[in-house]
Structure 1
């Protein structure tokens, strides 16, 4: 039974309740409480609030070439304008203010609380401050760097944005502090499962540093090698800690209840939901509300990225045969494909217990995601399946990619340590340098492929395309779906097909990406109005 982190109402009142736009202009007196910050319980309750900011299951992959929804979205079709407000901006500054508040006030507990305890909850706060700033700089680039709570007269409210390099330096400092002061996963154990550990801080640092290292490399700015080394070092520290390992069960079960709790060492950071309808934190309806009803459907582009079991892509493998029936798509393929995509015979939902073929009225690509699919959850619309936010599998592919991008090569031993452990889980032949040379494969592309299939449907693809500077190439392509199996799909008059009989979901003319502006998001107009020193991102 996993422990549920309880979010304390008084803490929410003290630390939240803020609009976050204008980078927090509430008077300091409105959140001060001289009777609080006296004990470990106070610090823990304050830190608990930060966990409410961990992201829920989402449909962000529709921004990428991995998925598409029932309708176009203004990111992939290029129609968005600079918004008046943006929750991605405001919410992260709410988180940052709450974290700053803990960092400032935790020392007040010194009279009755050990320094190690104060450091621990300060470290949690600094982890979440780093989390908030990474979310901001990933989207917006340069933003105001605020490291204290502000009152109405604070000069920081009218200061210009800080350079992204300074923000990343602060993120690294916060995560290094967290890695030093937080307990290990083992020490947290079952009682504190779900709280941030020292390896969570290191794994997140690896994610952050890989993003900035590859982004600066391919966008030609900054110090790529510095960030890539930081990514490799942090990922290797997680590997060497032996605190984590890959889930020993089926890949599909990793996203079901059997894959939850401290017994699953693959989960490094999770958003907890609960263990049952009667013992829960919150619930979600991600399967029924996002997947089954077509708000996020996998594309042919994603499907084609799964290797054949001989380790070769479908364009090179002699095992690949053009599909005649829908189940042929999964024959001799990486088994993670059939764990991620619905196929004929899979359990589906209460009103249709067994899946046969995706209904095109909802699943417009003719494919349907299977990850997190659960018949009981479909029925109740109240799932308690946790969202894995950072898995050990990500750490492995991060280490492989950081090494390759840093050195221009990777040894077979490091491929065995990373990529090949994941390929083994999918029943796919090993990747070696000799294998790549013999078959005309590019190691960098194969590492990127492994990242794509292992982390499919988990919200990474759009950001990967941005950092690799390939979004301008990949996102404007037409969106294709499954082969149109007429005997299975039936007569559908509204479906468009390509000349080779694949479902054409969205033509290229409806997909746009402007490399002159779309690699950064627009700052909210209200923020610029409140602080004229802020400058809008180029092109917006």
Structure 2
């Protein structure tokens, strides 16, 4: 059974699984024990390599993933929990809304024994090492970064947590101590990050390693997250964190003034190619990334999305959040939206092109014969509309050419003749019609049950900083200046091909369907300010599929608005739904219309009305085993 410590371990077989390209050029250090690991600067560096696995640790929902942990077990999870996305099987309902979440005996992210212990061991040997003071400060700073980055997750999940910054054993009283108040722990995290920024120095640990910019990035993310949590959850001191966020943003925005525009001809290709580019080294706006190399550490992100193993899809509610290309919400009378009670072709027409880079657009082709058939256009102009938009996949080969091309194919290059492709079981199918393909490209080699993909994946990128800046400025000042919008949101929109956000044009009627937040004990909710809602919408869209959703809807206190609703898919004819084993949603009853229902067409019914979000879900449950082991630990409210 776990406590917040583990027995002294042998530190052996340290693999270079971090983000650093240069790691791949070095001979692995083996048989490295605590007694031999701390004789030189390079020893400290080798000892800290495993901390880079924090960026692929799926406890942190915004982490990317490696190997078989891609897809539903990777960075999509945070947006699945938030209700932005869902799994495509009939039991894929949201665990925080469609069922009463049960008790957790162990795990749940309550972990002080892996990364935290390693960092504490490293710190404990700094003073006795032969390094210079500047070198000692550097490694203390690197430790501060990783220690703080993990504590950011612990705070977000549990609020009050034990503070562990020394090596513990079974006789350490701290191992059985109480949780420390969120206020103290959060201040410790921010203090440690600021100290790290001032003391990390200019040492060369190799390309693509933790540096001042990474520390600023953590300050920005934590400052926004903690500042807004405090504001909307009735805690004091939120403005101080927002100010730290804004100060870090200013430095990073000056250092990274350019967004990546992409190389592909598809719309918003710079947005999409962040996840499908073979080498992110030198790409504008990339601050830290995970490097993948053939025959060393390939992954399966692209492969999975070409198979029936990929269960992630989007629902109609999330699709409706995407703006029109003219910058108007679909409910705005000036938007020109054509999709009301219409099929997917109309729903996607003239929409924010980031939607096309996230969900496969609709199309239909005529297939030839054979195992790997040729194809031809159907002759209907609508069927090829989005093929022309995204670029034509002329060969359907594996590997093919280019990024996101239509028509699609599975991992063998077998043709996907149409989208939406409704149902489950066969490759590239989903129940909602909105198949998520964020990691899909045509150039990577795919092989059944094998990891051959080598597209790098971003960890820290300037786009998030721009979104943090816009939101923090509004939350701190109660407004946002147009000049700030031009420096942040409108840079993202320009790349995406969406008209600019104009603050003066946004009033209560701009989006009649804007969201609500729910102050404690207010079950009816309060409409979000219309300008703030547009800032949040931009964040949702730009970071879709990157795992931020569950962090965001909880700190905004908007979880009921996103989760307490029936989940539906695209609009289809009744016979189309029934042929796929699906039914339509009847808004008059709030339930499925059934196979023999009265509706001739409508949205696909996916999951029933949820049992509802509970207040206790804003914080995770402390595992019950931990409380049994340590009677000084108190449980979070409601659990």
Does TM, scored on the shorter chain, surpass 0.5?
yes
Q: Is the 8 A contact 1:28 1:151 kept in 2?
A: no
Match of 1:371 among 415, 438, 447: 438
Q: Which residue of 2 aligns with 1:257?
A: 277
Deviation at 1:333, TM superposition (A): 1.2
Residues 1:429 and 1:229: Cα distance change in structure 2 (over 3 Å): same
Pairwise CA distance, 1:299: 1.3
Contact 2:560 2:613 in 1 (8 A): yes
Matched residues in 2 for 1:337 and 1:319: separation?
Answer: 17
Taking the aligned partners of 1:433 and 1:448, their CA distance within structure 2 comes to 14
Which entry has the higher C-alpha Rg, 1 or 2?
A: 2
Change (3 A) 1:405 1:290: farther
Where 1:469 maps in the other structure, the secondary structure is coil
Compared with structure 1, are the counterparts of its residues 444 and 359 closer, same or farther at alpha carbon in structure 2 (3 Å cutoff)?
A: same
Q: Secondary structure at the match of 1:327?
A: helix
Q: Return 5+ residue gaps in structure 1 as ranges.
A: 1-18
Tell me the residue number matched to 2:491: 421
| Contact persistence 2:83–2:563 (CA under 8 A) | yes
Structure 1 counterpart of 2:623, from 502, 515, 524: 524
Aligned positions of 1:412-491 closer than 5 A: 412-437=482-507, 440=510, 442-484=530-572, 491=579
Q: Tell me how far apart the structure 2 counterparts of residues 489 and 475 of structure 1 sit (CA, whole Å).
A: 24
Q: How many residues align?
A: 507
Aligned to 1:248: 261
Query: 2:272 matched to 1:271?
Result: no
* Structural RMSD (CA): 2.6
TM-score under structure 2 normalisation?
0.74
| CA gap 1:86/1:403 in 2 versus in 1, 3 angstroms | same
* 4+ residue runs over 4 A deviation: 27-32, 289-292, 485-490
Deviation string for 1:312-351 (max 9, x for gaps)? 0011134211275533332211111111111134234235
Structure 1 residue 290, shift from structure 2 partner: 9.7
2:470–2:485 contact (8 Å) kept in structure 1: yes
Counterpart in 1 of 2:81? 63
Tell me the distance in 1 between the aligned counterparts of 2:570 and 2:50.
43
Q: In the TM superposition, what are the counterparts of 1:280-359 in structure 2 within 5 Å?
A: 280-285=296-301, 288=304, 293-316=309-332, 317-322=334-339, 324-343=342-361, 344=363, 345=387, 346=406, 347-349=408-410, 350-354=412-416, 356-357=418-419, 358-359=421-422
Equivalent-residue separation in structure 1 for 2:636 and 2:307 (angstroms): 34
1:100 pairs with 2:81: no
CA distance in 1, matches of 2:611, 2:310: 19
Looking at structure 1, the residues matched to 542 and 339 of structure 2 have their Cα atoms a distance apart, in angstroms, of 24
- Find 2:216's aligned residue among 192, 202, 205: 202
CA 1:243–1:312: 2 relative to 1, 3 Å: closer
Match of 2:606 among 483, 496, 505: 505
The Cα shift of 1:198 comes to 0.9
CA positional deviation for 1:419: 0.5
Instruction: Report matched runs for 1:137-176 at 5 Å.
Output: 137-176=155-194
**TM-superposition CA deviations, 1:267-317 (whole Å, max 9, x none):** 223333x132x2x33523465169853422111122111111111001113
CA apart distance, 1:237: 2.2
**2:42 match:** 41
Cα distance in structure 2, aligned partners of 1:217 and 1:291: 43
Change beyond 3 A, Cα 1:165–1:284: farther
- CA gap of 1:72–1:487, structure 2 versus 1, over 3 A, is closer
Within 2, Cα distance between the matches of 1:355 and 1:263? 37
User: Residues of 1 paired with 2:544 and 2:417: CA distance?
Assistant: 21
Higher mean C-alpha displacement, 217-226 vs 138-147? 217-226
Q: Distance in 1 between the 2:416 and 2:136 partners?
A: 53
**Gaps spanning 5+ residues in structure 2: where?**
12-31, 57-64, 66-73, 263-268, 364-386, 388-405, 512-529, 588-600
* Partner Cα separation in structure 1 for residue 100 and residue 617 of structure 2: 11
Are 1:521 and 1:537, in contact at CA under 8 Å, matched by a contact in 2?
yes
